[in-house]
Structure 1
Amino acid sequence: MARKKGLTFYEKEKKINKSTIHEILSTLFYCGVAVFLAFVLVFSVGMKISMVGVSMEPALYNGQEVLINRFIYKITSPKRGDVIAFLPNGNQNSHYYLKRIVGLPGESIQIIDGYVYINGERLPEDEYDKMADYGIAGNEIQLGSDEYFVLGDNRNMSEDSRSGNIGAVKKDTIAGKVWFHLSCDEEGTGFVN
């Protein structure tokens, strides 16, 4: 009988042993645990909110979705410059407002000639437009021990603590700190300053 020309390959039968099955099952188990923990972490600490309006442009845009860290203010206090989510006057029927903290508890706030003054000293804000509407902050406002004064970054298109129907934001109405926005900014980082 003549031999066939060319190469021939014989497949070796692969056997599945106990150690391979154990390795596959343990990998699947650990992946499942990791997904479960990530799910619990995001839903217990985080919250997704959509930006409504143009008051925070250029940092946040209308319709942009952001993640809120609901846990951070349980261990630290809000700081000047933080972008927070809050319900105005604790109104559960309202949408969450997203604004930047300007005034801290115990400080006095006033808007003079379109600029924010804290305890009588002008807040350096070169990147923000001069405000045309002073609202209730045209007169000095003394913040309580649990109150914050917030403004939108787009100062002339923002309903914020200058508005009588919002006023100072109480700490217990703050849902959390804006931590990450889901559509990227110009640098592509997704983080909010």
Structure 2
Amino acid sequence: MDFRQEDDKDFVTEINEDNADVVSELNNVAKTSAKSFLFDLLFYAILIFVSIYIIPNFILQRTIVDGESMENTLSDNDHLYVEKVSYRLNMLDRFDIIVFYPFGRDNEEYYVKRIIGLPGETIQIKDGLIYIDGKILEENYGKEPILDPGRAANPIVIGDDEYFVMGDNRNISKDSRYAVVGNVAKKNIGGKAFFRISPLKEFGPID
């Protein structure tokens, strides 16, 4: 009888130990699951933040062309991707197409134009030709010969953080030739248009 009681006690002890192991294992699994859940939650929160704030504000943005001032290169309602890195790193070049805010970033209105004059250069338009620092600019982006030089009838010195822009459809474009737009300050540039995503027949890089 005493032996049976001892055996029963040992059996109960083993069961309790097994239960303790199971409970401990379940606790470990629960802790691991909680850590995994928190990690996933943090990962997706960062992903959402990058997608909603970082990318559209500092890397890439989608823009729609409004009007015909960039024909024949771009047409009304073309959908473009604009990258926001080049201008921050002073990597914009002549003939790049940029999106900018002519009336400052506090105003939502934006223009899409091509860079013609770079910081520090002197630009003038005579007899339908563009002169940069006294030399004729060789280019073939203009849809038609320039009829109105605007304020560029006289030499214009471009500031250190400024660009002179024009639309490819020169005779209907409101651009740096006119005082209402003027030279484009770097701080008002939104980015460089580099890829057209719509219409599909024009899908691809922008020249």
Do both share a fold (TM > 0.5)?
A: yes
Mapped pair 1:101 → 2:122:
no
Higher helix share: 2
- Select which of 139, 144, 152 maps to 1:137: 152
Secondary structure at the aligned position of 1:43 is classed as helix
Instruction: Return the TM-score normalized by structure 2.
Output: 0.70
Task: Note the residue ranges of structure 1 that are not aligned, 5 or more in a row.
Answer: 1-28
SS of the equivalent of 2:205 reads coil
In the alignment, is residue 126 of structure 1 matched against residue 123 of structure 2? no
Describe the SS at the equivalent of 1:136.
Answer: helix
With normalisation by structure 1, the TM-score equals: 0.74
Structure 1 distance, partners of 2:186, 2:90, is 12
Deviations 1:111-145 (A, max 9, x none): 00011100011111234221111111111100111
Q: Distance in 1 between matches of 2:183 and 2:103?
A: 9
Q: Which segments of 5 or more consecutive residues in structure 2 lack a partner in the other structure?
A: 1-39
- The residue that corresponds to 2:3 in the other structure is none
1:114 aligns with 2:128: yes
Partner residue of 1:78 out of 68, 87, 92: 92
% identity of equivalent residues: 39
- Which 4+ runs in 1 deviate beyond 4 A? none
> Which secondary structure does the structure 2 equivalent of 1:47 belong to?
strand
Partners of 2:123 and 2:103 lie apart in 1 by 19
The one-letter code of the counterpart of 2:195 is F
Q: Say what the alpha-carbon RMSD is for the aligned residues.
A: 2.2
- Shift, 1:184, TM fit: 4.5
Number of aligned residues: 160
CA contact (8 A) 2:93 2:115 kept: yes
Distance in 2 (CA, whole Å) between partners of 1:185 and 1:105 is 35
- The question of whether the paired residues in 2 share the 8 Å contact of 1:88 and 1:94 is answered with no
In 2, are the aligned partners of 1:148 and 1:170 still within 8 Å (CA)?
yes
Q: Which residue of 1 aligns with 2:189?
A: 174
**AA aligned opposite 1:53:** G
1:48 is aligned to 62
The residue identity in structure 1 corresponding to 2:77 is G
Which has the larger Rg? 2
Letter in 2 for 1:145: D
1:20-39 to 2 correspondence within 5 Å? 36=47, 39=51
